[in-house]
Structure 1
C-alpha cells in the first residue's frame, strides 16, 4: 500500500461510524457506475410510479410483501 493510501485510510478511520458508512456507500456506488443501468432503473421507477398513479397496481405494506415472498420461497 502506498503512503498516500495509508494516510487516507488512517484519516477515514478517525471518522464517526455513520460518516464511514456513508463514504463506503459512495465508494461502492462509484465502482458500480454504469449510466445504462442508471437509466434503466429510472425508467423502471417511472413505470412503477405511473402504475400506482393510474391504479393498475396498488401499494401493500412492506411486511406483507416480505411475507408473500417468504411464502413463495417455501413452496
Structure 2
C-alpha cells in the first residue's frame, strides 16, 4: 500500500465522507483494543502512584487548584 496515494485519494473525498472514514477507522481500532504493553518502569510508576493514593486518599487537588498551580508557574 502506498500511503501517499491513499492519502491523496482520501483528500479527494468530501468532508462528510472523510469524517465517516475517520469514525470507521477509530471504531476498528477500538474494536481491536490495541494497547501497547506497559514497560517495567511504567508499571512501577503506576504501582507507586496507587500505593501513594491508598496511603493518602485525601491528598488530592481539584481541577481548579491544578489550573491555578499551572498558571502560577508561568
Looking at secondary structure, tell me which structure has more helix per residue: 1
Band of TM-score, shorter chain: 0.3 to 0.5
TM-score, with structure 1 as normaliser: 0.47
TM-score, with structure 2 as normaliser: 0.47
